[in-house]
Amino acid sequence: MLKTVYNRIRNIRKKVFAKNILRLTSWGKVKYVSIKFPTLRDIAEKLPDVQIIGDMEVEVSGISHDSREIVPGDIYACIPGFKVDGHDFAVAAQKAGAAALLVERFLKLDIPQLKVESTRQTVGRVAAEIYGYPSRRLKLIGVTGTNGKTTVTHLVERIARLAEEKTGMIGTLGAKIMEQEIPCQHTTPESTDIQKLLHKMVEQKVRIAVMEVSSHALDLGRVNGCFFQAGIFTNLSQDHLDYHQDMQKYLQAKSLLFAGMKQDSKQFAVLNADDPSCTYLQSQAACRYVTYGVDSAADYKAEELELTERGVEFKVKYKGNESTIFYPTPGKFSVYNALAAFAWGIEAGYSNEIITKALRETQGVPGRFESIRKGQPFLVIVDYAHTPDGLVNVLSAAREISAGRIITVFGCGGDRDRTKRPLMGRAAAEYSDFVIVTSDNPRTEDPQAIIEDILPGIAKVDYKVIVDRRQAIVQACSIAKPGDTIIIAGKGHEDYQIIGSEKIHFDDREEVEKALRGMGYVK
């Protein structure tokens, strides 16, 4: 059986076999199969305003923007980065066996070169060509927004799985092909990695793939070359302004997902009608769209909300129909997440029964309102909330289910948008009874300096500064009384802390369990 064709070919190239020969074993016999790869000419014909030097009949079987990963037959994409310029590593790529270069300026090297205006914006399209446009051979759903991307992505995947579809997923928690988990460095991987992952999904007969699409990925062209069957918008609030500079540019980046979809009856967008950005996204969408909401008129409207410790229950009215949904995660934000997934499911053709069952039976998403229960008389919740709006959502949900005080432990990431730090402080102060301000991922900044940026937002609430995150968690657990709820926000599923340029192991959930164990709670 033919499996992971390109990966095997790459291994064969490393062993100096003929470039387009794949060795297969069938019934104990060795067979050789010729595989046709695109030539540089094939690729150049798909690119606008490309200039060419060198042999255009050279076949290419892969592409990478990292010279250290080049194997014979690859195109090396010379991408100018924020710290280094990929053109400076072209010689190393050539020595590693690169068949050609994708450049923004011709280099004085004896190797075929394709010159384009922006290698960063082009590399995804080239990768898609090399790997046979895998996104067109399955149904790809993109989920974008400030908060809720990971949860909605998981809910969409679970709906499809319950409908007995083969599924793939790419996002903050990594990539997943059915049960196989694959680590990823970014919420949305680099464009070359996306195409490789999608190709692998096609090989494994995946029919539904769902991907978190970050604003960075959209702006940097990482999803160029991807054909989205559907796009889902969750919400927009302040984040990533260290990169986008202002909210309008941030919104424009988000809108690229929907502007890139065509007016095709098979393509559609699912938009949050309650978000102020919805009108702009509707104006930018090149495909048909439906809306969902709680407070505004919408195609999928939630009514009769019941918010309890068990989760959320509500009725959704759509297309003359009505359905009751239960989703076992507390908080009004959970209504929006479940409603977005429900709307996608109906538009994609799944039955009401399948969708509601998937939502009802979901086991939760790691690090998203994840409760730690070890027999203690108070509740501890770990959540990824790292934006002002996200923190408000989580703390509001905690207030709805807590019989006692809300104790919040949080910090802000270093080398990121400084303007949101006092806003995070204000959110924590307004919705908590006691706040412990601590470190998050300080990166190259002084943790104390980050905290000093947070403190102006904190007023009219008791608070304490504990720079060491481990000690902050211990302190929160030690002061909690029966009925209290502790929210440890900012890192969620992350099992590391970035200090300087070093990643060290650190998991909020593990630290909570250690603290509770030290207090004598064991379960």
- Residue 182 pairs in a beta bridge with 175
The residues near 81 (Cβ < 8 Å, ≥ 6 apart) are none
**With 90 as the cut, is the pLDDT of residue 242 above it?**
no
Give the CA radius of gyration of the chain.
Answer: 25
Q: Which of 329, 361, 393 is the C-terminal boundary of a domain? A: 361
User: Cβ contacts of residue 512 below 8 Å, gap of 6+?
Assistant: 372, 380, 382, 473, 477, 488
- Is 61 part of a structural domain of the chain? yes
Encode pLDDT of 218-230 as tens digits. Answer: 989 999 999 999 9
Residue 458 belongs to domain with CATH number: 3.90.190.20
Residue 24 has pLDDT above 50, yes or no: no
pLDDT exceeds cutoff 80 at 11: no
Domain match, 490 and 374 both = yes
pLDDT at residue number 112: 98
**Cα(143)–Cα(157) distance, rounded to whole angstroms?**
12
The answer to whether residue 313 sits within a structural domain is yes
pLDDT at 348: 97
Is 470 within the bounds of a domain?
yes
CATH number at residue 151: 3.40.1190.10
Residue 328 lies in a domain: yes
Q: HSE of 311 in the Cβ direction (CA atoms, 13 Å)? A: 18
Please check whether residues 304 and 389 belong to one and the same domain: no
> How far apart, in whole angstroms, are the C-alpha atoms of residue 14 and residue 74?
12
Q: How far apart are CA 445 and CA 428, in angstroms?
A: 22
Residues 223 and 336 in one domain: yes
Over residues 402-413, the mean pLDDT reads 97
Strands 100-103 and 174-177: unpaired
Residues 12 and 48 in one domain: no
pLDDT at 428: 98
Q: pLDDT band for position 5 (50/70/90)?
A: very low
Domain co-membership, 219 together with 205: yes
User: What integer pLDDT is reported at residue 178 of this predicted model?
Assistant: 92
Distance linking the first and last C-alpha atoms of the chain: 47
Last residue of a domain, one of 106, 130, 154: 130
Q: Do 250 and 297 share a domain, yes or no?
A: yes
60/75 Cα distance (integer angstroms): 7
Q: Strand, helix or coil at 83?
A: coil
Whole-number average pLDDT of the chain: 91
Q: What share of the chain is helix, strand, coil (3-state, %, to 5)?
A: 35, 25, 40
Do residues 290 and 299 lie in contact, with contact meaning Cβ atoms separated by under 8 Å?
A: yes
Interval 419-436 mean pLDDT: 97
The pLDDT of 87-116, averaged and rounded, is: 98
Number of domains in the chain: 4
The pLDDT of residue 238 is above 70: no
pLDDT at 266: 86
**Alpha-carbon separation of residue 93 from 67, 80, 89, 116, 283 (angstroms):** 5, 15, 6, 19, 44
Instruction: Give yes or no: residues 161 and 296 share one domain.
Output: yes
Asked if residue 472 and residue 398 are part of one domain, the reply reads yes
Indicate if 197 and 261 belong to the same structural domain.
yes
- Residues present in the chain in total: 523
Is residue 229 assigned to a domain? Answer: yes
Q: What is the pLDDT of residue 319?
A: 95
**Is residue 191 located within the same domain as residue 314?**
yes
User: Quick check: 100 and 87 in contact, CB under 8 A?
Assistant: no
The domain boundary, picked from 130, 163, 195, lies at 130
Residue showing tokens 């692998």: 200
Q: Is residue 502 part of a domain?
A: yes
434-485 pLDDT tens trace: 999 999 999 999 999 999 999 999 988 999 999 999 999 999 999 999 999 9
How many Cβ atoms sit within 10 Å of the Cβ of residue 114? Answer: 24
Question: Which positions ≥6 away from 286 have C-beta within 8 Å?
Answer: 258, 259, 260, 261, 262, 263
For the segment 343-364, the average pLDDT, to the nearest whole number, is: 97
Distance CA 428, CA 393 (A): 11
**In this structure, is residue 60 part of a structural domain?**
yes
Strand partners, 399: none
Average pLDDT over every residue of 75-97: 95
Greater confidence (30 vs 48) lies with 48
Full domain range(s) for residue 439? 370-518
Same-domain status, 382 and 497: yes
Can you give the pLDDT at residue 132? 93
**Whether 140 and 28 share a structural domain:** no
- Give the separation between CA 101 and CA 63, rounded to whole angstroms: 9
Q: Within a domain: residue 523?
A: no
Domain containing residue 90: CATH number: 3.40.1390.10
Higher-pLDDT residue of 261 and 326 is: 326
pLDDT band at 245 (very low <50, low <70, confident <90, very high): low
DSSP letter assigned to residue 39: B
Residue 502 CB coordination number (10 Å): 9
Residue 150 has pLDDT above 60, yes or no: yes
What pLDDT is attached to residue 315?
Answer: 98
Summarised one tens digit per residue, pLDDT across range 374-398 is 999 999 999 999 999 999 999 999 9
